[in-house]
Amino acid sequence: MTRPDLSGEVALSPTFHDCDPMHVVWHGNYFKYFEIARCALLQRYDYDYPQMRESGYLWPVVDARVKYIRPLLYGQALRVRATITEWENRLKIAYEILDADSGAVLTRAHTIQVAVDAVTNEMLYLCPSVLWDRLGVEVQ
């Protein structure tokens, strides 16, 4: 079985208010860039946060990891790639922040989200079928 391409990419450039006095993006702002890419990716499948809630599920981030390889600089042209790598028991999204000009990888990260029933607040141990339907994937 061929693995589907569950990735998307956004272009962005760090703004002045995202940076520290040395014109380097403050480490906490990287998560904002991941969120922008994650929402763009989920919108591609018509399952962004409003659609998640409408389907009866909340999807909180329960784990986030980041590896800062090289600094992001004020005004630097970037590409942020988000790829869904797991969807059966949890939603795991891997990220890469790349320099738009050279293609060099500047940051790698991932987030893990779990499905929570919006009414009972119970965490599910298997992702709801609505996620699989929207992504067009099968569970193995």
For residue range 31-74, list pLDDT tens digits in order: 999 999 999 999 999 999 999 999 999 999 999 999 999 999 99
The residue assigned the tokens 């569970």 is 139
* Spatial separation of the C-alpha atoms in residues 79 and 10, rounded to whole Å: 6
Residues paired with 97 in a beta bridge: 80, 107
- pTM score > 0.75 for this model? yes
Q: Is 40 left (phi over 0), alpha (psi -120 to 50) or beta?
A: alpha
Give 14's DSSP letter: -
Residues paired with 100 in a beta bridge: none
Q: List Cβ neighbours of 63 (8 Å cut-off, separation of 6 or more).
A: 111, 112
pLDDT digits (tens, 9 = 90+) for 79-134: 999 999 999 999 999 999 999 999 999 999 999 999 999 999 999 999 999 999 99
Task: Please check the confidence at residue 13 and state whether its pLDDT lies above 90.
Answer: yes
